[in-house]
Structure 1
Amino acid sequence: ADHIPLVVDQNPQVPSRIKFLIEGTGEDPAPTLVAMARRLVAAGATALAMPCNTAHHFAAAIRGAVPVPFLDMVALSVARAAGLAGKGGTVGILASPATRKIGLFDGAFAGAGIRPLFAEDDAAMLAAIRRIKAEGAVTEARAALRAASEELLVRGARIQMIACTEFSLIADAVANGTETFDTLDVLVDAIKDFALGDAPDQPGICPQRIFV
């Protein structure tokens, strides 16, 4: 087993990304995330990882605030998708509607020549995420993810990417016949590679690694 030294900042005071990005009613999470990043570096962290896809909307602010590498889950996951789907391929995205609204993956997918597809029922996806946050991996959330995955498969996305850590808890609910990977697993692989000194030059590994 790999025993990775970790410094963790679990902060329940991070403002809601959904309220800020989708509803337009919440506080900007960026200052809180930047403060967390600085605390982690002060505590001895030599690289940063953030296991929330939607929060990567604020990655630039975090990168600009600290002198250590930021392991970018978005770039790393799109690179994994490109390896599975190939240039010109289609990848289904099982994620918060916020990721589509803010175009979180758009630039990376365009650069890789991949066509992303999102589930069409934003309300069902958002309701499932909120249900999991409140109650865990309940049947209704599993049914919603299954329906979204089946819809994406019908539309041509056999390769599917779970890009929400709530959906990571019910990943086995995806449709039969899909090849699915989880962005959280991709990030974990990058953390292990970095900590063990095996990280290759790849998208998402910031060139600031000289500070490590």
Structure 2
Amino acid sequence: MERIAVIGGLGTLSGGDLFFKLLKNQQVLKNQLNYHFIFEQQPYSQINSPLYQEEDIKSRKYYTYNVCKNFESKGVTSVLLPCFACHSFLDELQKEISIPIVNIFEALSNYVSSKVGKGAKIGILTSDYVKVNQLLNSYFKDYDLLFPTQQEQLMEAIYGEQGIKNGYFDGLALEYVYEACVELNNLGCDIILPGITELSLIVEQLWKRGIPIVDVNQIYADYALMNKNSSPKKAFKLGILGGIGPSATVDFMNKIIKNTPAKNDQEHIKMVVEQNPQIPDRTANLVYHETDPTIAMFSTCKRLEAEGADAIAIPCNTAHAFVNSIQEHLNTPIINMLTTTAEYIKEHYGGKIKVGLLATSGTIQSEVYHDVLKAFGLNIIVPDEKHQGYVMESIYGKDGVKAGYTDGNCRKNILKSADYVINKGAQVVILGCTELPLIFPDESDIIKGSQKTPLIDPTLILARKIVSMTT
């Protein structure tokens, strides 16, 4: 079913006219069960203002954005925007809206090319704003565009106290428009093209007087029904479940930025972050059966999904013990940091390598890393109880990395545990808690004499994976 929406309120009467012309289209009347039409008009403070100031356009931007976002929640498949001036910011609006907005200029260009040949004279009746900004020129560059000399009089016919926008379809308003059309006719125009949607309200009266003016609202409605608009291509947006922990989230974002081959701000990846440090501790749940963090994590992911995230990243190793159950109830994929890390190790170091894991006791006991690494045929080595205590102290201790320390006791403790797994045969060491890489900001190896053991930073690998997905 086509769910087509019309943004009303930018020209109350012309919006209603467009909606009516959608309804009476023969294609719709014959297949009424295939169409769902929505018309929405919100209060718009500058509804009666002529387009003289930039503030008028800004207010239209806010208005159209808000209405379009409301349409998104209703499953609308295309939007009609019956305001020529608003199409001046269509590109910037479309980048933020997932529903295709039907371009009124494209509709008219398609119609004109089917009626007159290149080089034909086209009379244009449009607002000062559209005229000055030459919005029509790019769509009708193969034609000779002519404008009436009495532009002020035309504006009075539209916006005046007794103008068409206020419901006056005859009298002085009609005569002013007729005079402009006669002038264009005398200049040899093959067709008269309104660039103001309100003029559709009086075209029948002008036709009776022999004026070759087109009904832009009818053309726009027919074009929208005949042409299937594909969803706009939008920039990839990454959702980040943050706050677990806070510093690791910032570190992860920084790694994405540093690894993105961007030449300017606009080439970087869009990110939406839900920084939620109140999510219950994952290790406390896995080890001591304290508060389950699943619902808090799921709720955060759903908010990221609602924000339009194309994928979700969770820069917390222990949290991945809960990922599979959460993913079942999400439409947006979570990029699994553990799987990405195992793929990286196998690709760069081979499938027979022994992998040391320094992680929280929750990660160790859940065996979430064990399962992933074994699936890739990799052997895993973890610290004994004593050296696991050093790992936990370096993370959660009073001088630990979660308390803001990256040197001193937290570094000494983690190096003791690293030495242990290396002495047990580990050929690479995973820093399996996202805070641990903060202790090694400039190091990619642990060097002992002539022995160099690579440190594997899962957040860095995940960041590079995400960048590769978008470039």
TM-based fold match above 0.5? yes
**Contact (CA 8 Å) 1:145, 1:174: kept in 2 or not?**
no
CA offset at residue 93 of structure 1? 1.0
**Contact (CA 8 Å) 1:146, 1:174: kept in 2 or not?**
no
Aligned CA-pair RMSD: 1.6
Match of 1:160 among 418, 423, 429: 429
- Structure 1 residues 30-179: aligned runs within 5 Å: 30-120=294-384, 121-130=387-396, 131-171=400-440, 172=443, 175-176=446-447, 177-179=452-454
**Contact (CA 8 Å) 2:446, 2:455: kept in 1 or not?**
no
Q: Separation in 2 of the partners of 1:61 and 1:28?
A: 13
Residue identity matched to 1:149:
A
Q: Separation in 1 of the partners of 2:305 and 2:469?
A: 16
Q: Separation in 2 of the partners of 1:194 and 1:178?
A: 29
Compute the TM-score of the two structures, normalised by the length of structure 1: 0.86
- Structure 1 residue 21 and structure 2 residue 286: aligned? yes
Query: Cα deviations across residues 132-188 of structure 1 (Å, max 9, x unaligned)?
Result: 111321310101111111112111112111111110101239631111220011110
SS of residue paired to 2:274: coil
**Contact (CA 8 Å) 2:388, 2:417: kept in 1 or not?**
no
**Contact (CA 8 Å) 1:124, 1:144: kept in 2 or not?**
yes
CA offset at residue 83 of structure 1? 2.1
Runs of 4 or more, structure 1, over 4 Å off, are none
Match of 2:455 among 163, 167, 180: 180
Q: Separation in 1 of the partners of 2:312 and 2:366?
A: 23
Q: Structure 1 unaligned segments of length 5 or more: list them.
A: 197-212
**Contact (CA 8 Å) 1:81, 1:161: kept in 2 or not?**
no
**Contact (CA 8 Å) 1:34, 1:61: kept in 2 or not?**
no
SS of residue paired to 1:157: coil
Structure 1 residues 7, 30: CA separation in 2 closer, same or farther (over 3 Å shift)?
same
Across the two proteins, how many residue pairs are aligned to each other? 195
Q: Which structure exhibits the higher relative contact order, with contacts defined as CA atoms closer than 8 Å and separated by 6 or more residues?
A: 1
Of the two, which has the highest radius of gyration? Answer: 2
Q: Separation in 2 of the partners of 1:175 and 1:149?
A: 8
**Contact (CA 8 Å) 2:343, 2:376: kept in 1 or not?**
yes
Residue identity matched to 1:181:
I
CA offset at residue 66 of structure 1? 1.5
CA offset at residue 123 of structure 1? 1.3
Q: Separation in 2 of the partners of 1:107 and 1:181?
A: 18
Q: Separation in 1 of the partners of 2:445 and 2:360?
A: 16
Q: Separation in 1 of the partners of 2:461 and 2:415?
A: 22
**Contact (CA 8 Å) 1:91, 1:117: kept in 2 or not?**
yes
Compute the TM-score of the two structures, normalised by the length of structure 2: 0.40
- Structure 1 residue 192 and structure 2 residue 456: aligned? no
